[in-house]
Each structure stands twice: as structure tokens, then as C-alpha cells.
Amino acid sequence: MMTEPPHFIPGLMQDRPLLISSLIDYAAEYHGRREIVSRAVEGGIHRITYASARDRAMKVAAALRDYGIQPGDRIGTLAWNTHRHFELFFGISGIGAILHTINPRLFEEQIHYIVRHGADRILFVDADFLPLVRRLLPYATSVEAVIVLGEASAEQSEGVDRLVDYEAWTAQHLPIPDWPAFDERAASALCYTSGTTGDPKGVLYSHRSTMLHTFAAAQKSAMNLGCDDTIIAIAPMYHANAWGMPYLAAMTGAKLVMPGPRNDAQNIVGLINEEGATFACGVPTIWTNVLEHLRQTGETIPSLDRTTIGGSAVSPAMIEALAAHGVRTLHLWGMTEMSPMGVVATKTPDVEAMPKEKQRHQLTKQGRAQFGVELKIVDEDHRALPHDGTTAGALWVRGPWIASGYYRREHEPLLDADGWFPTGDIATIDPLGYMQITDRAKDIIKSGGEWISSIELENAVVAHPDVMIAAVIGVPDLRWEERPLLIVQAVEGKALSVDAIREFLANRVARWWIPERIEFVAAMPLTATGKIRKTALREIYVAAAPSEKDETA
């Protein structure tokens, strides 16, 4: 709590709360005919306008209230990116209840845990998740009703009691006449981020944090969104609210396109072209697949102007491959705990003035902090390190859309004495303010007393045209303490040899970085949010037990 100074004079401006419901109101009024397009779970393409989406969100709100849902109650969703999920974002949060987006790709025990921990009263689910819900319900005693978004087959609904049909349920209600007004600091949404050790942790967003994040993310220095944009929201709504896309689309009046249950490259490329997407967001593994699809089919994506890519480091090779298709990469670094945006790699006049090659190098870094996010790097004694672009340290962040604690673990201290949050990442910050992640703290490799950046090494390897995905992990070494082990998934149909890769790396990284051991896998193990699952690789390739690691989410 801020203490009021002795001569506190309040400003005389209207104290209107920043509420998520105001976004859909604005979109309906000023961009009412703009479309929300999704690949429906039941097949085909579904179209709706912002005006009807508000109407339907207000019906959801009416139905929830009529059911007895109170502000602060948690309502779970197990759903793809579709117009119905979009309506729930506003219908649930709009009446002060908490939207709990559940990641269906987590390990099942983790899903059981988070539904129990969140104590969700209602679950909204796409029909294809009903078998999962059937297994979940015996453990989830808080769940009173399961509401199916769309039609479910007899087979899908078998054994699921408390089942309600979403369309029929909402159709029985008139939209609420107005959204309620309440304290903007009220919780709006809950998203768990999980580790292989320890229980998943709930990040509890507020209306205020979400609204401030949305204002900031729309800016030119970040995503530069406007009503002439068509956003394709590829990042799932269960991963940090699709990186804020439902809110951003409503605030800016952009057309919103959602891939529904299909995040395959064919669906994504089809939607980009059919709907004229200008802006996208997604993790690198999605773009690896999209680029491979474009290479194989010869298709193009001429409408797409730019995409934010984050969740894992984007390699310079990927940025170049997208640029060859006319797509500008906005490298983004963030966390579920940061709503998720922290930094974005956009150009400043200083960078614009650089020769092209230097510009490219600069924009492969994760980027500059957006207004509202503070960054610091510190050494092992928590002393601030210089922003010289070479000194790497533990990255800490502070700002009004960054978590201060985890849901129902509020007593566990998370921040340092000055209110900074530990990201668990290692980074450098250069004199122009561009931050670069060199490693996840737990992935860093120390060889002969010197650091090897697994990200930099991976980036060098994926520049090889026949490499699809590369991962580097540290393995114990008697002489050097640790050595990098490289694991490669080749492009389909391409054969790669250890020698060929070592030769390729010869001029690209320091000699002592080149791994002696290189292994090939048919499919790289990925986490529930599309990152490389290094714990799984360690279990296979390193005899030692896996280290604790936040990487299943």
C-alpha cells in the first residue's frame, strides 16, 4: 500500500476502473462489423462480428450469474482458439469471475492438480477434450457442470455427467444489460505454469494488469497493431491468453483469425492466405513447420507483414527464412508471469542508421523493454551488472503486469527486497537497451571454466539447411567438467552426418564449442507449449537424474 504524503492533493480526473469488459464494448461499438474468424472444432470456418461476439459474451455472463457464479469464482476452459473461447474471455472476466485457461497438453496428473488447486466450479470444454474430462472428474470435486462448446458425439460424451450444451444454455438467456463496474485490481484470469518437479504454479492476472499490458503491446515499439490489421492468433489461448491477442484485437479493432483445433502448417498457411492475415504470433516450432511446408509446396504468404515469435529463442536462420517470404520477425521475450510481454526487438533510429548486416544482428536479440517493464541483470551476489552487451547475468524484471506471487502460494516470497521478479534466465543488455537471452539458468553449460551458450550453439546448427530442430545440453566430462552434447532432428528425407555438422560449425562458433557428441532423433521431444523438452533429452543422454526445470508448460 502506498502511504499518502501529508499534503496529498488528489487529481481531479475520473477514476474509471480499467476493466476487460470495456474492450469488447469498444470493439462492438467502433468496429462492430469487423470479423472474428475461426476454424470450428466441428469443421468448417466460422465467422462472427465483434457486435455479435459482445452480445454472446453478455449472454454467457447472464447464464453464469443465473447459475449462481459469483465474482472471484474460477471457471475453467479446456478449449482451442475459437470464437466461443473468445466469448468466454469476456463473458467470464466481465462479471468479475476468473477465467482459468487449462493447457490440455500438460501431463494429465498436472491437469488434475490445477483443476483441483484452482477449484473450478464450471468447466467449458471443446468436445474432443471430453474423454480427458471423464478421467478428470472423479478428482475434481469442485466441478459442478461441464459445458460443451459445440456438439459432442455420443462416444465423446460417454461417461461424463453434469454435461450441458453451450449453445442451448446461452440461448436461454438475454444478454446482461451492462457490465458491472468493480475494482480494476480484481483477478481476471488464471494460467498455470508448470515444472517437472514441484507443483504447477498459478499466475493470477488482474483487470488492471491485463489492460496495461494490452495498451503497451499494441504500441508501435511492440506489435504495432491497428484496425487495418488481421491477426492470426496461433499461440494458444491457454498459453498466457494467446499472448494477449483477444484483448489486443478488441482494443485495436483488428480482424481476429483463430486456427481452432489445428495448429498444423497447412491450416495456418491456408488461413493466412484466405483471410489475409497481416500479423501473427507463435513459438519457433510452429514457424519451423510453416517454413518447411512453404518449401515443400512452393506456397507463399504474401499478406503476412510481421509475426511476433517467442517462447524460445528465434534463430537468425529462421528470421532470414521468414524475411525471404516478406515477413518481418518481431522477436519477443516474455513469460506467463509477465502477461507475457517483456521485450520486443523493434528498430530504434540508432539501429536504423546501422549497416544492414549490423541491423540484422541487433534484431536477432530478444529486444528492448517496453515502457512499463524494467530489466536488471545481476551477479551471484545480486549486484547490478553493466549493460555493455557482453556481461551476462541473472535477469530480473519489475512492472505492473508482472506477477508478485503465485495463486494460493502468496505467503512464499518471490520478489527481492525492491520488488523484482527472478526470471530464471541469463541475459546480456547492450548500451542500446537490447536484451539477449544467453540461456535458461538451468541449461547453461560450463566447459573448462568458460560458459557455452546453448542458444547460440543451437542457432548456429539450425542455420544448416538440412537441420529442422537442434538442442544442446551439457553432459558431465572428466576433463572439462561439462561438454555440450548436440541433438539434431533433420529435415524429413535428409541424412546428416556427425562430420558434416562439425564441419559446418567450424567457421561459425569457437572451436572449443564444437560438440564431440552429436545424436540424431526422428522427433524432438516438445513441451506443452512447443519448447524443446531438455529434461527428456537429459534423461535419455545423461546418466544423471534430470535437474529441476520449468519446462513442461
Q: Would you say 84 and 90 are in contact if contact means Cβ atoms under 8 Å apart?
A: no
Side chain identity, residue 167: E
Radius of gyration, CA atoms only, the chain = 24
Residue from 151, 158, 410, 446 carrying the catalytic annotation:
446
Distance of closest approach, residue 212 Cβ to ligand AMP, in angstroms: 18
Q: Would you say 145 and 162 are in contact if contact means Cβ atoms under 8 Å apart?
A: yes
Per CB under 6 A, 115 contacts ligand AMP: no
Which of the ranges 20-28, 169-177, 263-271, 332-340 carries the binding residues for ligand AMP, by CB under 6 A?
Answer: 332-340
Per CB under 6 A, 340 contacts ligand AMP: yes
Residue from 193, 196, 428, 527 carrying the catalytic annotation:
193
Per CB under 6 A, 237 contacts ligand AMP: no
Which of the ranges 41-49, 77-85, 420-428, 507-515 carries the binding residues for ligand AMP, by CB under 6 A?
Answer: 420-428
Member of 101, 312, 453, 489 binding ligand AMP (CB under 6 A): 312
Half-sphere exposure (CA, 13 Å, Cβ side) for 241? 34
Member of 184, 425, 456, 458 binding ligand AMP (CB under 6 A): 425
- Cα–Cα distance between 508 and 494 in angstroms, integer? 22
Q: Which residue(s) pair with 469 in the sheet? A: 489
**Closer residue to ligand AMP in complex, CB, 25/456:** 456
Cis peptide before 246 (omega within 30 of 0): no
Distance of closest approach, residue 172 Cβ to ligand AMP, in angstroms: 38
Note if 337 is an active site residue: yes
Member of 188, 263, 423, 438 binding ligand AMP (CB under 6 A): 423
Question: Closest by alpha carbon to 550, among 238, 311, 285?
Answer: 311
Question: Closest by alpha carbon to 340, among 445, 203, 451, 465?
Answer: 203
Non-local (6+) Cβ contacts of 154 within 8 A are: none
Per CB under 6 A, 364 contacts ligand AMP: no
End-to-end CA distance of the chain: 33
Note if 170 is an active site residue: no
Per CB under 6 A, 397 contacts ligand AMP: no
Non-local (6+) Cβ contacts of 317 within 8 A are: 459, 462, 463
SS3 8: coil
Which of the ranges 59-67, 108-116, 418-426, 481-489 carries the binding residues for ligand AMP, by CB under 6 A?
Answer: 418-426
Closest residue to ligand AMP using C-beta atoms: 336
| Binding residues among 191-220 for ligand AMP as defined by CB under 6 A | 193
Per CB under 6 A, 553 contacts ligand AMP: yes
Member of 247, 333, 421, 504 binding ligand AMP (CB under 6 A): 333
Residue from 292, 451, 480, 482 carrying the catalytic annotation:
451
Distance of closest approach, residue 27 Cβ to ligand AMP, in angstroms: 26
**Closer residue to ligand AMP in complex, CB, 102/146:** 102
**Closer residue to ligand AMP in complex, CB, 53/452:** 452
Per CB under 6 A, 366 contacts ligand AMP: yes
Per CB under 6 A, 393 contacts ligand AMP: no
Per CB under 6 A, 245 contacts ligand AMP: no
29 φ, ψ (degrees, to nearest 5): -80, -40
- Cα–Cα distance between 472 and 321 in angstroms, integer? 22
Which of the ranges 2-10, 144-152, 306-314, 511-519 carries the binding residues for ligand AMP, by CB under 6 A?
Answer: 306-314
**Closer residue to ligand AMP in complex, CB, 306/440:** 440
Per CB under 6 A, 420 contacts ligand AMP: no
Per CB under 6 A, 179 contacts ligand AMP: no
Cα 12 to its chain centre, rounded Å, is 38
* Residue 332: all three cell numbers together: 519477443
Member of 440, 464, 483, 533 binding ligand AMP (CB under 6 A): 440
Which of the ranges 52-60, 246-254, 307-315, 465-473 carries the binding residues for ligand AMP, by CB under 6 A?
Answer: 307-315
Per CB under 6 A, 369 contacts ligand AMP: no
Note if 193 is an active site residue: yes
Note if 451 is an active site residue: yes
Member of 254, 397, 437, 509 binding ligand AMP (CB under 6 A): 437
504 φ, ψ (degrees, to nearest 5): -60, -35
* Residue 250: all three cell numbers together: 478488441
Half-sphere exposure (CA, 13 Å, Cβ side) for 506? 6
Q: Would you say 419 and 425 are in contact if contact means Cβ atoms under 8 Å apart?
A: no
Per CB under 6 A, 252 contacts ligand AMP: no
DSSP 429-474: E-TTSEEEEEEEGGG-EEETTEEE-HHHHHHHHHTSTTEEEEEEEE
Burial tier of 398 (Cβ tally within 10 Å: 0-12, 13-18, 19+): middle
Non-local (6+) Cβ contacts of 355 within 8 A are: none
Site size with ligand AMP, rule: CB under 6 A: 21
Burial tier of 280 (Cβ tally within 10 Å: 0-12, 13-18, 19+): buried
Per CB under 6 A, 188 contacts ligand AMP: no
Active site residues: 193, 337, 446, 451
State the residues that interact with ligand AMP by CB under 6 A.
193, 240, 310-313, 331-336, 340, 366, 423-425, 437, 440, 529, 553
